[in-house]
Amino acid sequence: MSWYRTWIKTVSLRHRLLWSVLLPMLILLVINIVVVSKMGYDSATRRHDHFLQDVSAKLLEQLNTRQGHVGFNDRNLNILTEDKSDEVHYFFRGVQSNFRFGDADLPEPTEMLTAEPIYYFDTYRDKPVRMMAVIMPQADVNAEPVVMVVAKTLVLYHERAWEWIWRVLPAHLILMGLSAVLVWWGVGRGLRPLLDLRDEVTRRSSLDLHPLPEQKIILEVRPLIHSFNELMARLDVSLAAQQRFITNAAHQLRTPLSGFKTQAELIMGMDNVDEIHYTMRQLHIAADQAGRMISQLLVLASSEPGAQTQESFSRLNLVALARDITQSWVPRSLKRHIDLGLESEENVIDVTGNALLMAEMLGNLIDNALRYSHYSGQVTVRISRKGGKVCLEVEDNGPGIAVSERQRIFERFYRVPGTLQDGCGLGLSIVREIAHRHQAEVYVLSGSNGQGTLMRILFAQNSAQVVP
């Protein structure tokens, strides 16, 4: 079967379809030839047997019985020589008497003779013959029955058989040939929409992702084209997101790079050590901000759809992960005298996700809360269950976010007007992208007693599991 697998890999769809249709037609043609040949020989056999019957009847007419003596007149037997290409032999004898006429060495059948003729093939004088043997009654009721054996060679027999075959077979061959041509044409016409589709895809540029036409394609291929169009739609969305990402990143990075250049030029023209030290400190701050922006951009790129495979997701203990991330932010909270804590209803609450992305998402939420909380404020990380879903919350008691701004804060590089804190405007965009990658929903609510901000993330029920 290895040759068949090799053939399947190399042969085209057109040739597969043609072989699938023409091979059965070829088999039918062979069967048709066999059937036509049999019909031709059957027709020749019937004509041959009729001739043998006629000869037997003529021979019987030449018998006469006078005064108990049986005579035979063979002078008027023109039927024996009317087929010049064949030889006719005969032998007959009485059933009771011992009279005999003709070729006594003609082979008789092994079956018992009756009034029903027996037809058979045999060889006589090294020539194939068709024979008939029968017991026939004479016209005189007083005369005894006669055993009649007649044989004829097969030259005309084969000629008549082939005459039938060549009369019928060419029409069948022509019909099969026309059918093959029509099948070839039909397969080509049926594949034309696919070839047109191939040409259209070949002509497209790498950026042309509009859907392929489905209605002109044969029904069996439409699901494939539909799935391909859905894939191109997802690619279009992904490419558009990447293009926006590149555009925004280039725009945002242009500002700190210009600042680096300006600060460097200022330093080159300064002589005062204090001024140089101050400018270097500003340059260091700008470098930190640029480094954080680049880090955030890389995280945002890794959280885009398609950047992470399903194999990178696993079962995570959200409580343990939140505890580790919260502890890592304690030193910064202590610098601002902010009370940072973790609350959880259970010791182990599992969700399906990517550990690195989940840690980045929670770290951005805590960072935002610490940045915008009041001095000596309070930030709480909370994990609970709500309506069968796992709920992750980060709450602060800062100034809060206006309702009109709660949707815009998730836009890349967007900062709420009047914000004095430094930042690159990517933290919450990263939070939303990572949440969507985990089939989770993000909500912006007011904190306790209407003060501060509560960021709530609800994980879908099929991606979360609570272990008691």
Q: State pLDDT tens for residues 351-378.
A: 888 888 888 888 888 888 888 887 788 8
Indicate if the pLDDT at residue 45 is higher than 80.
yes
Helix 273-302 with 222-268: angle, nearest 10 deg: 170
Taking residues 52-73, report their average pLDDT: 77
pLDDT at 35: 84
Indicate if the pLDDT at residue 290 is higher than 80.
no
pLDDT at 466: 38
How many C-beta atoms surround the C-beta of residue 282 within 10 A? 13
Residue 230 tokens read as 């859905």
Indicate if the pLDDT at residue 350 is higher than 90.
no
CA distance 330 to 341: 9
Quote the mean pLDDT of the chain: 78
Q: Please check whether residue 348 is in contact with residue 319, taking contact to mean a CB–CB distance below 8 angstroms.
A: yes
Q: Order across the sheet with 100-102: list the strands.
A: 100-102, 88-94, 146-153, 127-136, 118-124
Taking residues 65-80, report their average pLDDT: 67
pLDDT at 19: 76
Residues in CB range of 23: below 8 A, 6 or more apart: none
Stronger pLDDT, 133 or 286, i.e. the higher one: 133
With pLDDT > 70 as the criterion, what percentage of the chain qualifies? 76
Measured CA angle at 11 (ends 7, 14), to 5 deg: 140
Q: Order across the sheet with 339-344: list the strands.
A: 339-344, 378-386, 389-396, 453-459, 440-446
pLDDT at 416: 60
Taking residues 415-431, report their average pLDDT: 63
Say what the pTM is: 0.46
Assign domain 15-162 to its CATH architecture: 2-Layer Sandwich (3.30)
Q: What is the DSSP letter of 111?
A: S
CA distance 437 to 453: 23
Stronger pLDDT, 447 or 244, i.e. the higher one: 447
The full set of domain ranges for the chain reads 15-162, 219-302, 310-467
Identical fold between 15-162 and 310-467:
no
CA distance 293 to 299: 10
What phi, psi does 395 have (nearest 5°)?
-120, 140
Taking residues 414-420, report their average pLDDT: 56
Among all chains, which residue has been given the structure tokens 């391909």?
Answer: 228
pLDDT at 404: 74
**How are beta strands 339-344 and 378-386 bridged, if at all?**
parallel
Q: What is the DSSP letter of 337?
A: T
pLDDT at 129: 92
Find how far residue 91's CA is from the centre of its chain: 75
What phi, psi does 403 have (nearest 5°)?
-60, -35
Three-state DSSP state, 402: coil
| Type of residue at 332 | R
Residues in CB range of 413: below 8 A, 6 or more apart: 248, 251, 252, 424, 425, 426
Three-state DSSP state, 207: coil
pLDDT in tens, 214-249: 776 767 677 877 887 888 888 777 777 677 667 666
What phi, psi does 131 have (nearest 5°)?
-125, 155
What phi, psi does 386 have (nearest 5°)?
-140, 115
Assign domain 310-467 to its CATH architecture: 2-Layer Sandwich (3.30)
pLDDT in tens, 305-345: 555 545 567 888 888 998 998 998 888 888 888 888 998 88
Give residue 131's pLDDT band: very low, low, confident or very high (50, 70, 90).
Answer: very high
Stronger pLDDT, 157 or 301, i.e. the higher one: 157
Give residue 66's pLDDT band: very low, low, confident or very high (50, 70, 90).
Answer: low
Secondary-structure class of domain 219-302 per CATH: mainly alpha
pLDDT in tens, 80-115: 766 778 888 888 888 877 788 888 889 988 888 888
State the number of CA atoms in the 13 A half-sphere of 377 facing the CB.
20
pLDDT at 464: 45
pLDDT at 37: 83
Residues in CB range of 155: below 8 A, 6 or more apart: 85, 86
Q: Please check whether residue 318 is in contact with residue 463, taking contact to mean a CB–CB distance below 8 angstroms.
A: no
Give residue 468's pLDDT band: very low, low, confident or very high (50, 70, 90).
Answer: very low
Stronger pLDDT, 197 or 435, i.e. the higher one: 435
State the number of CA atoms in the 13 A half-sphere of 117 facing the CB.
18
Stronger pLDDT, 139 or 24, i.e. the higher one: 24
pLDDT at 122: 92
Residue 422 tokens read as 């430094």
CA distance 353 to 466: 14
Give residue 467's pLDDT band: very low, low, confident or very high (50, 70, 90).
Answer: very low
